[in-house]
A and B are shown apart, each in its own frame.
Chain A
């Protein structure tokens, strides 16, 4: 701390000369950084390395920190063992539902956030309030009513049914985040476009929409994660084996064996986490700054 409560003289030279306490401080900070990295990554590492061990090693007397007898058998079991419910159809279901949810939710949220940020109208406040409150309702509470709703429309055990429910679930948060971004695009740009002969819809589409790319990415990732990871609704609503999503499949895998097949579960977990991790690493920077502009624009 002595380095930071500096005299003016020291402040001037601060950038060029690195003082001794400062160097100690920076070592401490770097060590802390490494510590945080290890704590964050260790479970991910443990999942992956366990998934490459044969069962005999996994439940052997000694814990291995590195797969000494590297094997792909667990992945083979997960992907191609047809004695239990299958991975690939579940993957297909998850992909379908997630893609539908992301696309539809983004379009709906884009339109709604335009309405909320670009127009004054009656019950605008009411709509914003409703969006806030909807986020507080526990999904577990509504599951019976949701089940009956889908049953009434013969949408149980369908991609469409699950997608509709997920869209409604992610929509409030999606609108909430996106409206911060829309607010960040100056209205003058649209007006300029309209004077240049674009219709109002054309101005939205040709001017505002492209400028929203980071916002759409940030909100899209959120919708993606929620749809990809959701577990309970899928468990209740799409219970038929061929309609399961990945989280539900993962759970049946765990229960199906009397004794837990840890290698298989870890392989399955890895396969399920990979798409999300890839997605995250691609969009990383944009996401949190997006969140902030969403939050600050209020």
Chain B
């Protein structure tokens, strides 16, 4: 069935003017980039997605943007006119020490969490390539269980494990390791709050990185690595010079997604604050936007923070976006 189709599409054997033409074999993989000049079809195919994105994301986004230039508080929610105030909201935020604290905290957290996640995930993936079948299965089942835990559930469970009076962590530290952790409160001190938060977030994110990188590693041709091995390249060199460049696009996608997710982290921070911890000293950008907008009713200011967050995320992922668009030519 397919062969009939293929020969008909490519140049068939036969007589072309004065020459006898041999059948051209189909250059199969090269054809992948060939795309049709559909007239209306592609637009029709995009209509459902475009409509829902425009209505549910586009429209609120425009409103958010407008709102960030307005004085928009509780009164405006109930129908009072919203006067335009120019860049007042932005000026207010950028002059607010609290915002800068939140921003720096979020960036630092993102940096630490993403680095840890990427390094641990990659190491586990590399380990998996060296393991026997049984241990590899053991590791993947463990990773999948951690990955499958909903963020909210995971946070509650970790919160329970770090509980001041009945948590297993304090118990183990005190009873088994002989340290004095009786009644130690982990969430009160912002620094150890962030320690717990980092554990929760990294624990939940490592499986995604590890399994994706592992799947990528299985696609690196073995001969190349063996050749390098014969040439005497050390494990580290083989990774940096051969494996990494080969998996560059995977690492880039995973990295950018981690940055986006960790900088926007909401559920884990919010839920952990609900268990213990001081909001003022532990909020990240996501939670701060939520508090400013919904809890305090300053929607204009909250909108401005949101716009700034989007700009920061876009700046961070600019390289990736440019690269992707370039490849799409």
Chain B associates with chain A: yes
Q: Which residues of A contact B8 (CB under 8 A)?
A: 195
B325 at the interface (CB under 8 A from A): yes
Q: Which residues of B contact A34 (CB under 8 A)?
A: 135, 138
- Shortest CB-to-CB span from B293 to chain A, Å, is 6
Q: Which residues of A contact B35 (CB under 8 A)?
A: 117-120, 187
Residues of A within 8 A of B (CB): 1, 4-6, 8, 11, 26, 29-30, 32-34, 36-41, 43-44, 46-47, 50, 58-60, 63, 65, 107-109, 111-112, 114-121, 124-125, 127-130, 132-146, 148-149, 164-165, 167-169, 171-172, 175, 183, 186-189, 191-196, 200, 225, 228-229, 231-232, 236, 247, 250-251, 254-255, 262, 265-266, 269, 272-273, 276-277, 279-281, 284, 287-289, 291-292, 295-296, 298
Provide the main secondary structure of the chain A interface: helix
- Shortest CB-to-CB span from A2 to chain B, Å, is 11
Q: Which 6 A-B pairs have the closest CB atoms?
A: A192-B5, A141-B306, A145-B60, A168-B56, A40-B142, A115-B45
Q: Which residues of A contact B229 (CB under 8 A)?
A: 4-6, 11
Contact B299 A144 (CB under 8 A): yes
Residues of B within 8 A of A (CB): 1-2, 4-6, 8-9, 26, 28, 31-32, 34-38, 41-43, 45-46, 48-50, 52-53, 55-57, 59-61, 63-64, 67, 77, 124, 127, 130-132, 135-136, 138-154, 156-158, 160-161, 163, 165-166, 168, 171, 175, 203, 207, 211-212, 214-216, 218-219, 229-230, 232, 234-235, 249-250, 253-254, 260, 264, 266-267, 270-271, 274, 285-287, 289-290, 293-294, 299, 302-303, 305-307, 309-310, 313-314, 317, 321, 324-325, 327-328
B32: contacting residue among A128, A165, A186, CB under 8 A: A186
Q: Which residues of A contact B207 (CB under 8 A)?
A: 40
Q: Give the A-B contact count at a CB cut-off of 8 A.
A: 343
Alpha-carbon distance A236/B293, docked complex (angstroms)? 12
Chain B residue at minimal CB-CB distance from A58: B166
Alpha-carbon distance A148/B165, docked complex (angstroms)? 43
Alpha-carbon distance A272/B151, docked complex (angstroms)? 11
- Shortest CB-to-CB span from B115 to chain A, Å, is 18
